[in-house]
């Protein structure tokens, strides 16, 4: 049965179109990302997909086809960090002067004039930024300082407008900008003076120099060891500070698109939800009779759960088939705890391969999501060299597509108390993100495994003897996602072994989710939705006078809808009508995070042609 198509119109920034380069040219992709072999540029594509801009192409700047004529076919060019030749400098200069729109991450100083800046020659490492919400570009983003990892170059303004200031620490201005906007010739340019994709990776995945090293004194190498020694400013956990910086990039793209044509995006969540919950359970040494009461409780609440098991001899195929048929997920719980203090590539590879084969043989199931026993995290390559994504790379090798080994647990560590952040209502996401995105390797290359953070962990609160804190941490994350635009996919782990502790607060969580209309999914269901969302693309985007047309291409299906976001105003004109495949759709008004869009929800697995009419 077809889903009803929904539209919600939200409040956005009004942009000047006095110098707009209005065009009716149909381009397959309006955004071009220019990368190199190094510099973390490839991960820009993952950021764009997370933000819903599934309308970009990626090329290496060194490719012979990348000429001024080629660049001129794109509305917006994103230049990732890399050294530039004089030929590149001339080409980019000409592109912007002729009316192009350029975004750059830590640009080569040879083109700082394009961005209206003068180099001060004093880089700053691991600082903060503070976004100017009054700049007209960044409305709706937090004005609190946000941490970044990496190096920022210091500049003074030479015609540019500041979008965000660079801070030495959380409270001290550096006197230089972190993000600027500039008009240059007929075009426009925005520079992040630091490497945004590198920062997002390091914020979400931790310190690569800590890979494969015991750091927190808790037995076993885990992803949490990567966040020790003050790597993350936990006072910022409730802000989702990596996500806020990605939202800032989106604001910049919306701003620049006022010079070309409005760009559609995809919404973060299924349908028009503003939050989502994923529930999982580690089976440990238990069997199906132990699991049954918890599954019955969860199922009675309309929720679904993933269970990760390693005691396969205690779980029958009939039991697995019963609960899988009800919409729950049964997956493996790889156990490399024998070498937990020094997990090696070779043994972890063997562990993953063995349990994958056992699951396929006994249950006829393919393992697609994963949590390791004790969250053991391999942080070294086969040759012993450090690699904070080694575990994810091994999982990709074995066909695992989603990992949840990053979790909130810091009990009895050698670090300052609660080094991963506050408990209870103010517990946030220490990864700086409530979104589920793919891992990256140490060079910023995308690893085809989604990182799903486990925020609400029963063992942390059980050992703290704090059942109310267990519930309140969940409620805090959900309330901020629903009410404050601090969007989160909330991962909850409720061990069967600890159900004596977690049953009451877990039932309160499921009740609260039901009251708020937020579904509770398995990890596999989320994976399938994200694959649908990331696979979809926008093509044939065209703007002629007051009419926007585009096609949404989608081949993957899901029980939940795919939502398109269309700017509700453009160049002083207001969206008046939307048709999908020739059918006019009524417009409903809603508001999200200070920006103005029309929301259109469709089923995945089909192509849709949209026409959007704007009027004075």
| CATH assignment of the domain containing 305 | 3.20.20.370
148 and 48 co-located in one domain: yes
pTM (predicted TM-score): 0.95
In this structure, what are the phi and psi dihedrals at residue 68, rounded to the nearest 5 degrees?
-65, -35
pLDDT for position 6? 41
Q: Are residues 489 and 592 in the same domain?
A: no
The residue ranges of the chain whose pLDDT is under 50 are: 1-16, 18-26
Report yes or no on 564 lying in a domain: yes
- Indicate if 58 and 129 belong to the same structural domain: yes
Say yes or no: 336 and 427 in one domain: yes
If asked whether residues 524 and 581 sit together in one domain, one would say no
Q: Looking at the domain assignment, is residue 257 inside a domain?
A: no
pLDDT tens digits, 15-31: 345 444 434 344 589 99
Q: Output the CA angle 44-390-376, nearest 5 degrees.
A: 120
Are residue 520 and residue 549 in the same domain, yes or no? Answer: no
Question: 596 near 12, Cβ under 8 Å?
Answer: yes
d(CA 357, CA 525): 22
pLDDT of residue 308: 98
Q: Does a structural domain hold residue 209?
A: no
> Total structural domains in the chain?
3
Tokens of 558: 């899901």
* Cα(443)–Cα(203) distance, integer angstroms: 15
Burial class of residue 296 (count of CB atoms within 10 Å of its CB; 0-12, 13-18, 19+): exposed
Q: Is residue 261 part of a domain?
A: no
Last residue of a domain, one of 150, 165, 194: 194
Are residues 559 and 524 both part of a single domain?
no
One domain for residues 345 and 494: yes
Task: Give the DSSP H or E segment for 87.
Answer: helix 86-97
Please state whether 286 falls in left (phi above 0), alpha (psi between -120 and 50) or beta: beta
Do residue 409 and residue 474 come from a single domain?
yes
Pick the last residue of a domain from 531, 550, 576: 531
**Which pair of tokens denotes residue 392?**
């994810």
344: helix, coil or strand? coil
Structure confidence by residue, pLDDT tens digits, 80-109: 999 999 999 999 999 999 999 999 999 999
Residue 144: the pLDDT is 97
SS3 content of the chain, % helix, strand, coil (to 5): 30, 25, 45
User: Are both 495 and 574 inside the same structural domain?
Assistant: no
What tokens does 425 get? Answer: 């209502």
Residues 441 and 320 in one domain: yes
Would you say residue 22 lies in a domain? no
Please tell me the predicted confidence (pLDDT) of residue 19. Answer: 40
Q: Say yes or no: 175 and 138 in one domain.
A: yes
Q: How far is CA 391 from the centre of its chain?
A: 19
In a domain, 611, yes or no: yes
Domain end among 511, 531, 551: 531
- Tell me whether residue 202 is in a domain: no
* Residue 421, in any domain of the structure: yes
What is the pLDDT at residue 372? 98
For residue 22, the model assigns a pLDDT of 39
Provide the residue range defining the domain that includes 295.
276-531
């Amino acid at each position: 049965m077809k889903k009803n198509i929904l539209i919600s119109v939200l409040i956005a920034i009004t942009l000047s179109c006095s110098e707009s380069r209005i065009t009716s040219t149909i381009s397959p992709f309006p955004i071009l990302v220019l990368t190199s072999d190094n510099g973390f540029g490839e991960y820009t594509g993952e950021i764009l997909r997370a933000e819903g801009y599934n309308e970009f192409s990626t090329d290496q700047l060194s490719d012979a086809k990348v000429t001024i004529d080629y660049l001129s076919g794109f509305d917006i060019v994103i230049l990732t960090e890399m050294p530039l030749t004089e030929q590149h400098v001339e080409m980019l200069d000409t592109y912007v002067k002729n009316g192009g729109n350029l975004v750059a991450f830590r640009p080569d100083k040879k083109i700082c004039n394009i961005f209206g800046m003068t180099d001060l020659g004093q880089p700053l490492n691991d600082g903060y930024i503070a976004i100017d919400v009054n700049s007209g570009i960044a409305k709706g983003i937090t004005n609190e300082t946000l941490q970044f990892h990496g190096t920022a170059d210091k500049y003074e303004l030479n015609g540019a407008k500041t979008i965000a200031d660079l801070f030495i620490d959380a409270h001290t201005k550096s006197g230089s900008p972190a993000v600027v906007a500039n008009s240059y010739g007929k075009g426009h340019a925005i520079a992040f003076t630091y490497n945004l994709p590198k920062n997002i990776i390091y914020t979400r995945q931790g310190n690569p120099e800590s890979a494969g090293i015991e750091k927190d004194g808790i037995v076993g190498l885990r992803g949490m060891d990567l966040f020790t020694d003050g790597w993350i400013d936990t006072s910022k956990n409730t802000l989702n500070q990596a996500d806020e910086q990605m939202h800032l990039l989106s604001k910049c793209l919306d701003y620049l698109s006022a010079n070309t044509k409005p760009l559609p995006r995809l919404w973060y969540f299924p349908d028009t939800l503003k939050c989502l919950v994923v529930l999982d359970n580690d089976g440990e040494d238990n069997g199906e009779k132990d699991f049954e009461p918890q599954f019955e409780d969860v199922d009675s609440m309309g929720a679904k759960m993933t269970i990760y098991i390693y005691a396969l001899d205690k779980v029958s195929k009939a039991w697995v088939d019963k609960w899988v048929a009800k919409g729950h997920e049964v997956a493996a719980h790889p156990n490399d705890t024998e070498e937990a203090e020094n997990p090696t590539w070779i043994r972890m590879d063997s562990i993953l391969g063995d349990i994958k084969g056992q699951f396929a043989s006994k249950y006829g199931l393919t393992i697609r999501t994963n949590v390791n026993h004790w969250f053991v995290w391999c942080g070294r390559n086969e040759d012993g060299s450090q690699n904070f994504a080694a575990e994810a790379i091994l999982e990709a090798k074995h066909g695992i597509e989603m990992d949840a080994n990053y979790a909130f647990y810091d009990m009895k560590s050698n670090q300052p108390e609660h080094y991963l952040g506050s408990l209870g209502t103010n517990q946030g996401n220490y990864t700086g993100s409530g979104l589920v995105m793919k891992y990256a390797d140490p060079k910023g290359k995308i690893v085809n495994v989604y990182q799903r953070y486990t925020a609400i962990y029963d063992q942390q609160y059980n050992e703290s003897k704090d059942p109310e804190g267990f519930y309140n941490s969940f409620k805090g994350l959900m309330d901020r996602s629903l009410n404050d635009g601090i969007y989160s996919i909330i991962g909850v782990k409720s061990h069967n072994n600890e159900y004596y502790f977690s049953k009451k607060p877990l039932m309160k969580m499921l009740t609260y989710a039901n009251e708020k209309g937020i579904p509770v999914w398995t990890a596999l269901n989320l994976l399938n939705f994200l694959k649908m969302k990331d696979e979809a693309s926008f093509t044939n985007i065209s703007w002629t006078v007051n009419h926007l047309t585009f096609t949404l291409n989608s081949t993957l299906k899901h029980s939940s809808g795919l939502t398109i976001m269309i700017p509700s105003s453009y160049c002083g004109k207001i969206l008046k009508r939307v048709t999908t495949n020739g059918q006019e759709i009524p417009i409903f008004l809603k508001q999200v995070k200070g920006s103005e869009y029309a929301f259109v929800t469709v089923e995945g697995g089909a192509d849709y042609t949209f026409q959007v009419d704007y009027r004075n």
